[in-house]
Structure 1
Amino acid sequence: MSRSSRRGSRKVAAVALAVSAGLFLASCADNGKDSGSGDNAESGSALAIGPVNEQSNEGNPVKGGTLTFSGYSAVTTLDPAKTQIAGSVAGSELGAIYDTLLRYDPTSQKFVPKLANSMSPSADFKTWTLQLRDGVTFSDGTPVDSAAVSGSLSRYVTNKGPQSSLYASKVASVATPDAKTVVFNLNDPWTGIESLLATGPGMIVAPTAQKGDQFTPIGAGAFTLEKFAPNEEMILDAREDYFGGAPNVDKLKLISIIGAQATTESLKSGGADAAYFRGLPNILDLIDSGYPGYVDIPSLSYLSLINSAPGRPGADVRVRQALALATDPVALDNRLNEGKGLPGQVIFQDGSRWHNDAAPIGVDTAKAKELLDQAKADGFDGKITYLTMQENSAQAMALALQSMANAVGFDFQIEYVNSVSDIVKRLYVDRDFDMSTGSANLPEADPFERLYSNLKTGGRNNATSFSDAQMDALLDELGVATSNDAKTAVLTKIQERATQVVPWQILGNSPWLGVWGKNVHGIQQSLDGIMFFDQAWKTN
């Protein structure tokens, strides 16, 4: 492998973790009290996946004005092949420039056409045919045809985009029999291609965008770039020739306000018209205040990662089991979130359509002590170090975990670092940690991709070096499941195996809120928190 290849792969890994680590740290930036253990049935939170404070009698769209959107993190690149695409990182912002071929409709729980006209599978789900719309152009006037789509996807793989390895492993070939048709020939049955085409790979970059090392953001979305100040703001202009009709607003102003409290205050004062953020107290505040929006609760969004690489304490499954059995997620939630969170030990809580009846590992301090004593008898000294941020909520979490682990006989130590980037480097580049904060953030639409990358032996986001032949086989089985019933059956077996081998310490879930002002209308939701503004409008 060349030096440039190593740098590229490390950069992608760092971006991916910046998403998950950042989301985790935001999710636990709440403080707080009740008791219990296991799944989420007794949770004090009334949050559920779906719309809140739905607007009615919205009237006719009003033309003009600027809509200001505060994203969770600042945009650092305009190239969808160079960043993880999610609601939390560049998804809504770059979606405004490029659109996506498909959009996930959370109401129908189906993928629907966006830039594309249709997408349909063969009977065996090994061939998918994408039909493009007539007359669609990129912002430079060149056509969005099958050659452009195929070329953009090839560019994404060549540039090692964050989802490129999965795409390359699943797609055997791409055919373009005519200007409006793209045919994906797969190695195996697979439904997840819809998910990919609703995120980064589905953001089609114009053939004219790349000139040598010079990249210009030329897409087919509803807006074009006027100004880009990295880590500060983006200003986008509406396209009069957008295939769906000229947007209602004249401009989009895209910013990132740091912190849930500051974001909430900006929404209430009118400084921001819409936002995407996490932070339980502020989410509840805005919902109680009548702000419309959409709540999503990605699964596995609240974890402790346990490094199971050889030489680490977590290499012994008994140590991982003891840590899980010693930790009561509900007690943690009572202590940190006043009992308002979503604690639990299962991958899919009962608000998820993938919820199943597989039992969690439970809380059993006597069993935890027994397993730990067995590991100590075989030479383990009981010491384990937890890596976290030098920040109040992160410290509170670390101290709570320390108290529970030490109560069964661990020597649980805490190491603090100053920034998320420090954690990123330690987890995903150096792999130098025993335990740390983490999340997988499995989307409801299709949990396979992130389960695969986080659990599979050698997976792109498998920071813990977890490796289990049975789990690998189950992940492969999930990858070729084509019905929801078949997927749920495999996910049940994955939960059962995870309870046995404890790839991570599951603590619960963390909600996010896509929210907008009461005078804002027409924002569309998609996969993973991505929001579209081509139909958005606002009143004075």
Structure 2
Amino acid sequence: MLHSRVTRTRRLALIGLAGALALSACASERDQGSGSDANTLVFGAAGAPKNFDPVFNDDGESFRPMRQMYETLVAYKPGSADLEPGLATEWEPSADGKTWTFKLREGVKFHDGTDFNAEAVCFNFDRWHNMPGEAAQSQMIYYGDVFEGFAENKGDATGDPVYKSCEAKDEHTAVLHLNKAKGAFPDAFGLTSLSMSSPDALKKHNADEVTQSGDSFSYPAYANEHPTGTGPYKFESYDKSAKTITLTRNEDYWGEKARLEKIVFRVIEDENTRKQDMISGQIDGYDLPNPADYQALRDAGAQVMVRPVFNILYLGINQANTPELKDVRVRKAIEYAINKEQLAKNQLPEGAEARDQFVPEETDGYTDEVEKHEYDVEEAKRLLKEAGAEDLTLKFYVPTEVSRPYMPNPVDIAGAVSDDLKAAGIDVEMVQRPWNGGFKDDVQKAGKHDIHLLGWTGDYGDAGNFVGTFFGREKAEFGFNDREVFKALSDADSKVDDEEQKQAYEKAAVTISEYVPAVPLTSSPPAIVVGGDIQGLVPSPLTDERFAPVHKGES
């Protein structure tokens, strides 16, 4: 039996499919030049990948090439957050949700020619669970969040982890045993971080030898030179001097082979340069074009594919450094002070909407019963006065050198938020830090900020992927330790029944809205742009685009 939660993310599937069909129809009418031959796709990447071992990554620029090389047990249907078979053709939980049985595809091989089977599945899960060293564990962001720790917990992980053991019942049946039920499953089994790697390649190339020096990490040969999955494309090279990643078609792929012979990801940090290279035909596509450039790109013959909305931009609040922020009246005042409607209208792409909670409207767990703090400057001032915080000054950390689906222009957005806060009597000291050059470490690890700008694009159609990821345990980013919030989310995450989980997340959403650990701001429809001759690309609300069906010219 193929077990898949039915959620309101069906709406995303319909929107995505309709958009893909419309864009495919338009593509033949356009004549966008290409910077590559008919058998190669050149895609402009906004940044360099961290490495190519899925479990050590958590950012889109790293995931994009890996999604072409690796596969997961379950997959997300193109253009949606719904599930479909991946390397497993069927999956079934036990009644208590503590055992998952996977029926695996037959005839699948890794890129090194070794067999994909139940032993390989168990090897991967055991590898993650038994990962040695705090340095390596600290880099396993997604695994740590989903499985709540390791065999030997390091850092802030406490209690029993979710994973217990894995059994290869026969060559094509893997049985996963858990210490406790996890409501995020089966959806979370499709995370790119949980992709299957070749056990032989992992062992041969010392995959677990991650070392740390200060704030820097070094990764072994597997992650940098020998990534080995089962996907339709294989790793050929990463030329750091030329800033290019080259993948070649896997001629032994188990399914329908990729249409193109090669994919080249060319790292182009500057957004305007990506646009100009797209218009001049030097690249075939890039992600997250500036909304102000949509028309110029279309006029040049490109297809601007706007994805369904499945993200959230928020103003994070760190309660650890400034005593006033421990007072919920102050946190509510901050939310009352921000004009979210104007922010969405003036600073975000067309179609952006103000948000009053962290769960997207299309996902089970969203509820109209949350406590709302709509724009009201006078109420913000009143609460600040009542809390004795009229002279409040906050360090506002803002990322630079980055464009995210939920946050195309961080500095401009932060400027608008700062103006609103100042109008309510809150002084703001803006601290700008490069995204990969200090911001994430300062905010998410060191907690140096008072408030910060950040967001999230959903990885799968489950409320816990949003609120659980943010507020499910104590984090430096938010600096609070409220057991009521943690318990509400833990209770929701433990529900196996779909309706019970939906109700539990709705209850948790209300608790979060009353506590205000952060301020939900907006959600935006991000875009991906490709040449007029590109066919077969389906925009994903999860930014989970797969390039195997992509080709050039007529279908």
Return the TM-score normalized by structure 2: 0.78
Match of 2:124 in 1: 152
The answer to whether the 8 A contact 2:237-2:246 is kept is: yes
Please state whether the residue corresponding to 2:235 is helix, strand or coil.
strand
How far has the Cα of 1:83 moved from its partner? 1.2
Give the superposition deviation at 1:455: 0.4
Distance between the aligned counterparts of 1:107 and 1:340, measured in 2? 18
| Number of the residue aligned with 1:373 | 385
Shift of 1:475: 0.7
What is the match of residue 221 of structure 1? 231
Task: State the 1:432 CA deviation.
Answer: 0.8
Distance in 1 separating the partners of 2:381 and 2:26: 60
Which one is further off, 485-494 or 364-373? 485-494
Letter matched to residue 357 of structure 1: D
State which of 450, 472, 478 in structure 1 corresponds to 2:486: 472
2:106 counterpart SS class: coil
- Identify if the C-alpha distance between structure 1 residues 108 and 77 changes in structure 2 by more than 3 Å, giving closer, same or farther: closer
Kept in 2, the 8 Å contact 1:440–1:454? The answer is no
Contact 2:307 2:541 in 1 (8 A): no
- Which AA in structure 2 matches 1:83? N
1:397 aligned residue: 413
Structure 2 CA distance for partners of 1:471 and 1:328, relative to 1, 3 Å: same
Tell me which amino acid in the other structure corresponds to 1:55.
S
1:414 aligns with 2:383: no
Amino acid of the structure 2 residue aligned with 1:319: V
Match of 2:189 in 1: 197
Q: Aligned runs of 1:237-252 on 2, under 5 Å?
A: 237-252=248-263
Structure 2 vs 1, CA of residues 307 and 56 (structure 1 numbering), >3 Å: closer, same or farther?
A: same
Paired with 1:343 and 1:221, the residues of 2 have a C-alpha distance of 38
Distance 1:399 1:65, change over 3 A: closer
Instruction: Report the equivalent of 2:341.
Output: 330
2-side partners of 1:189 and 1:179: how far apart? 25
CA distance in 2, matches of 1:248, 1:395: 40
Report which stretch shifted further, 181-190 or 271-280: 271-280
- Letter in structure 2 aligned against 1:375: A
Give the unaligned 5+ runs of structure 1: 1-47
1:496 alignment counterpart: 510
| Alpha-carbon distance, 1:79 to partner | 1.3
Shift of 1:229: 2.0
Aligned-pair distance for 1:287? 7.2
> Could you say if the C-alpha distance between residues 358 and 230 of structure 1 is closer, same or farther in structure 2, counting changes exceeding 3 Å?
farther
Q: Are 2:86 and 1:74 aligned?
A: no
Q: How many Å apart are 1:188 and its aligned residue?
A: 3.2
Contact 2:69 2:228 in 1 (8 A): yes
**1:140 lines up with 2:112 in the alignment:** yes
**Matched ranges for 1:267-346 at <5 A:** 267-277=278-288, 279-282=290-293, 291=303, 293=305, 295-300=307-312, 302-309=313-320, 311-337=322-348, 341-346=352-357
**Amino acid corresponding to residue 112 of structure 1 in structure 2:** E
**For residues 412 and 58 of structure 1, what CA distance do their matches in structure 2 show?**
47
Q: Distance in 1 between matches of 2:113 and 2:400?
A: 50
The answer on whether the counterparts of 1:456 and 1:466 sit within 8 Å (CA) in structure 2 is: no
Letter of the aligned partner of 2:450 in structure 1? Answer: D
Contact 1:176 1:183 in 2 (8 A): yes
| Aligned-partner residue type, residue 235 of structure 2 | L
Q: Secondary structure at the match of 2:311?
A: coil
Distance 1:367 1:226 in 2: 59
Q: Which residue of 2 aligns with 1:181?
A: 173
Q: 1:55 aligns with which of 3, 16, 24?
A: 24
User: Could you say which residue in structure 2 is the equivalent of 1:163?
Assistant: 142
Task: State the 1:129 CA deviation.
Answer: 1.2
Shift of 1:104: 0.8
SS at match of 1:55: helix
> Higher relative contact order by CA 8 Å / sep ≥ 6: 1 or 2?
1
Following superposition, the deviation at residue 441 of structure 1 comes to: 2.9
Query: What is the match of residue 461 of structure 2?
Result: 445
The CA RMSD over aligned residues, in Å, is 3.2
Whether 1:361 aligns to 2:373 is yes
Aligned partner of 1:523 among 524, 537, 544: 537
Contact 1:298 / 1:444 at 8 angstroms: preserved in 2?
no
CA distance in 1, matches of 2:535, 2:174: 34
**1:163-203 CA distances to partner (integer Å, 9 max, x unpaired)?**
22222532222111111111112333334233332123431
* Contact 2:400-2:410 within 8 A present in 1 as well: yes
Moved more, 400-409 or 478-487: 478-487
Partner of 1:119: 91
Partner SS, residue 143 of structure 1: coil
SS state of the match for residue 531, structure 1? Answer: coil
Equivalent pairs counted in the alignment come to 484
Q: Give how far 1:162 is off.
A: 1.9
Identity %: 21
Post-superposition Cα deviations, 1:481-530, rounded to whole Å, max 9, x if no partner, equal 34554343233223322221111122111332244333223335667312
Structure 1 distance, partners of 2:266, 2:400, is: 26
| Alpha-carbon offset, residue 292 of structure 1 | 6.2
Q: 1:299 to 1:486 in 2, by over 3 A?
A: farther
User: Partner amino acid for 1:479?
Assistant: D
In the alignment, what sits opposite 1:424? 440
Q: 2:397 aligns with which of 387, 390, 393?
A: 387
From 220, 226, 233, give the equivalent of 2:244: 233
Instruction: Give, in angstroms, the shift of residue 271 of structure 1.
Output: 2.7
Summarize the alignment of residues 504-519 of structure 1 with structure 2, pairs less than 5 Å apart. 504-519=518-533
The amino acid across from 1:468 in the alignment is: D
Query: Can you give the 5+ residue segments of structure 2 that lack an aligned partner in the other structure?
Result: 1-14, 29-36, 150-160, 207-219, 402-407
The 8 Å contact of residues 51 and 295 in structure 1, kept in 2 or not, is answered as no
SS in 1 for 2:474: coil
CA contact 1:163–1:200 (8 Å) conserved in 2: no
Aligned to 1:373, the other structure's residue is in SS state helix
Q: Which amino acid in structure 1 is aligned with residue 88 of structure 2?
A: A
For the residues of structure 1 that align with 2:74 and 2:431, how far apart are their CA atoms? 43
Moved more, 289-298 or 240-249: 289-298
- Evaluate the alpha carbon distance shift between residue 370 and residue 106 of structure 1 in structure 2; reply closer, same or farther with a 3 A threshold: farther
Equivalence for 2:266: 255
Deviation at 1:372, TM superposition (A): 0.4
**CA–CA distance in structure 2, aligned partners of residues 512 and 427 of structure 1:** 24
Aligned partner of residue 358 in structure 1, secondary structure: coil
Separation in structure 2 between the aligned mates of residue 345 and residue 356 of structure 1, nearest angstrom: 10
Q: Is the 8 A contact 1:101 1:116 kept in 2?
A: yes
